[in-house]
Amino acid sequence: MPPPTDGQAFSDLMQQMAHLPQISPATLAELQADYLKQATALWNASLGQGEAPTISDRRFAAPEWRANPAAHFMTQLYLLNGRTLQQMAAAVEADDKTKARIRFAVQQFVDAASPSNFLALNPEAQKLALDSQGETLARGLQHLWGDVQRGHVSQTDESAFEVGKNVATTAGHIVFENELFQLIEYEPLTPEVHQRAFLLVPPCINKYYILDLQPDNSLIRYAVSQGHRVFVVSWRNPDESVRHLGWDDYVEEGAIQAIRVVQAISGQDKINALGFCVGGTILATALAVLAARGEQAAASLTLLTTLLDFEDNGVLDIFVDEAMVRLREATLGVESPKGPQLLHGQELATTFSFLRPNDLVWNYVVGNYLKGEAPPAFDLLYWNGDSTNLPGPMYCWYLRHTYLQNELKQPGKLTVCGEKLDLGAIAAPVYIYGSREDHIVPWTSAYRSTQLLKGKKRFVLGASGHIAGVINPPPKPGKPAKRSHWVGKGATLPADSDAWFASATEHPGSWWPDWSEWLASHAGEKKPAPKTPGNRKFKPIEPAPGRYVKVKA
Is the residue at 355 inside a domain? no
Rounded Cα–Cα distance for residues 347 and 34 (Å):
40
Is the residue at 363 inside a domain? no
Q: Exposure of 475 by Cβ count < 10 A (0-12 exposed, 13-18 middle, 19+ buried)?
A: middle
Q: Which domain holds residue 84?
A: 17-130
- Number of domains forming the structure of the chain: 2
- The 3-state DSSP class for residue 504 equals coil
Q: Both 120 and 242 in a single domain? A: no
Q: Both 201 and 331 in a single domain? A: yes
Is the residue at 92 inside a domain? yes
What confidence tens digit (pLDDT) does each residue in 108-144 have? 999 999 999 999 999 999 999 999 999 999 999 999 9
Q: Strand 271-276 to strand 298-304: parallel, antiparallel, or no bridges (unpaired)?
A: parallel
**Catalytic residue list contains 204:** no
Cβ within 8 Å of residue 215, ≥6 positions away: 169, 170, 221
Residue 167 DSSP symbol: B
Cβ within 8 Å of residue 31, ≥6 positions away: 23, 84, 87, 88, 91
- Listed in sequence order, the DSSP H helices in 332-409 are 345-353, 357, 363-364, 379-385, 392-398
Is the residue at 380 inside a domain? no
Mean pLDDT, consecutive 10-residue stretches, the chain (553 aa), reads 44 49 88 92 84 85 92 93 93 88 92 96 96 96 92 89 96 98 98 97 96 96 98 97 97 98 97 98 98 98 98 86 93 89 88 85 95 92 92 96 97 98 97 96 96 95 95 88 89 92 95 97 96 96 98 89
Distances (CA, A) of 338 to 60, 68, 244, 326, 390: 49, 56, 12, 15, 17
Q: Do 323 and 369 touch, CB atoms closer than 8 A?
A: no
Q: Both 124 and 176 in a single domain? A: no
- The 3-state DSSP class for residue 113 equals coil
Of 76, 103, 130, which closes a domain? 130
pLDDT at site 88: 93
Is the residue at 148 inside a domain? no
Q: Both 124 and 179 in a single domain? A: no
Q: Both 403 and 526 in a single domain? A: yes
pLDDT at site 371: 96
Q: Of residues 204, 277, 396, 417, which has the active-site annotation?
A: 277
Is the residue at 136 inside a domain? no
Is the residue at 150 inside a domain? no
Q: Both 126 and 199 in a single domain? A: no
pTM: 0.91
Of 130, 164, 191, which closes a domain? 130
Instruction: Read off the CATH number of the domain in which 490 is found.
Output: 3.40.50.1820
Q: Both 76 and 221 in a single domain? A: no
Q: Both 95 and 201 in a single domain? A: no
Q: Both 542 and 430 in a single domain? A: yes
pLDDT at site 298: 98
Of 102, 130, 158, which closes a domain? 130
Q: Both 185 and 59 in a single domain? A: no
Q: Both 182 and 303 in a single domain? A: yes
Is the residue at 333 inside a domain? yes
Rounded Cα–Cα distance for residues 191 and 156 (Å):
39
Cβ within 8 Å of residue 389, ≥6 positions away: 237, 238, 239, 342, 343, 344, 345, 553
Q: Both 224 and 336 in a single domain? A: yes
